[in-house]
Amino acid sequence: MKNNGIEIADVFRAFMGQYRAKFDKVMLPSHQKAVRDIVSCMTPAMGGCHYQCQDCDETFWCYHGCRNRSCPKCHGRQIVIWMKKQGARMLPCSHFHVVATVPGEIRSLFLREQKYLYGLLMKTAANTLCELAKDKRYIGAVPGILAVLHTWTGQMHHHPHVHMLVTAGGVSDDGGEWRESRYQFLVPVKKLSPMIRKRFARELKKGRPDLFDQIPPKVWKKEWCSFCKHYGQGQDAVTRYLARYVFRIAITSNRILGMDSTHVTFKTKDNNTGEWKTQRIKGVDFIRRFLLHVLPKGFHKVRYYGLWSPGKRNLRLQARLILQMDATNKCANREVKLGDLAEEALSESNIESHDFVPKCPKCKSKNVILLEKRRRGEMRYVT
């Protein structure tokens, strides 16, 4: 199953007229902007840089990306830039992967009140995990948590959940001791789930009682944490987690297999078997599903808690010193791995980054010089 060169932007161009005829009056500003940006990304409309190859004299343009976080062409570049900044924050220790989700009965409410409820879910899940981990039966200290919001399934249905990368230990309050979790065990999921649920209910009832009253009572009896697994030892495990989760979007162009006058065919992965399957849906439905996962303007989908929170910088530095003094820690070449995996993530996103030296489209040489730059909206003057 291979992509036929069809991009998300091509689907928008083909079916956006039909979509607007049905949903134009209810399209959110963030959706409008995402569509405009994705359609214009890496086209003359975005401006670009004009180069000349020194080996074959070919001249060519490299157009700018839109930098919209929902754009499949730009998220690879975002990974590169973001990951190369993480060296000072990530700790050279073992980590866990925890997932907190919400019952299906309230997903529609989350869709209507995205900014408030998504933020409350992330805050509640992370703070509850910190509270439980601080129990002396588990870590006895506050761990570092990187929380990332995802809102989709493989079929692009709405399914809000939070992925958390959690350090397998924490620093004592006085900063003098690193307290490690028990081998491949962080906290009991069966205990964490009701704690998240209870805290979320309490905070929602306090902050938005109008929303709390809309939730059926059976929701407060269901599981809210579905996953907790040891993610691996050392920095390599961390960087692979970051590349996989942090800037992922609902679907990328390389999963689109075909498109005709009415439908789009794309591949999805069965989480139970690991097998790839195909799904064919109407073009309008494809756009509707994609836009479900465009987040509100100003919403931060990546957040830091516990030892990784901004206010814990000094304690985090102390943790790094303690861990680096441990002779058994095997985290050599950490920065190289960050860079290597960032580049790998870029290549997997099936784009070229114009933040780096471009290749000549004719002879593939990188021996090029910049002739001129044009900003967004200026390319109409270029012939």
Q: Do both 43 and 139 map to the same domain?
A: no
Q: Do both 50 and 84 map to the same domain?
A: no
Q: Is the pLDDT of residue 349 over 60?
A: no
Say what the pLDDT of residue 278 is.
95
Q: Which of 208-222, 245-259, 324-338, 344-358 has the largest mean confidence?
A: 208-222
Residue range 5-57, pLDDT digits in tens: 899 999 999 999 999 999 999 899 999 999 999 999 999 999 999 999 999 99
Q: Do both 245 and 320 map to the same domain?
A: yes
303-to-45, 101, 152, 216 alpha-carbon distances in Å:
33, 16, 18, 29
Q: Do both 136 and 37 map to the same domain?
A: no
Q: What is the CATH number of the domain that holds 80?
A: 3.40.1310
Residue range 237-267, pLDDT digits in tens: 676 777 678 878 999 999 999 999 999 999 9
Domains of the chain: total: 2
Q: Do both 220 and 143 map to the same domain?
A: yes
DSSP 57-122: --EEEEEPP---TT-TTTHHHHHHHHHTT-TTT--SS-EEEEEEE--GGGHHHHHHTHHHHHHHHH
Say what the pLDDT of residue 326 is.
64
Q: Do both 181 and 53 map to the same domain?
A: no
Asked if the structure places residue 279 within a domain, the reply is no
Quick one: which H or E segment has residue 372?
strand 368-374
Asked if the structure places residue 257 within a domain, the reply is no
Say what the pLDDT of residue 176 is.
78
Say what the pLDDT of residue 2 is.
57
Q: Do both 90 and 60 map to the same domain?
A: no
Say what the pLDDT of residue 19 is.
97
Q: Do both 13 and 61 map to the same domain?
A: yes
- In the block, residue with structure tokens 């073009």: 283
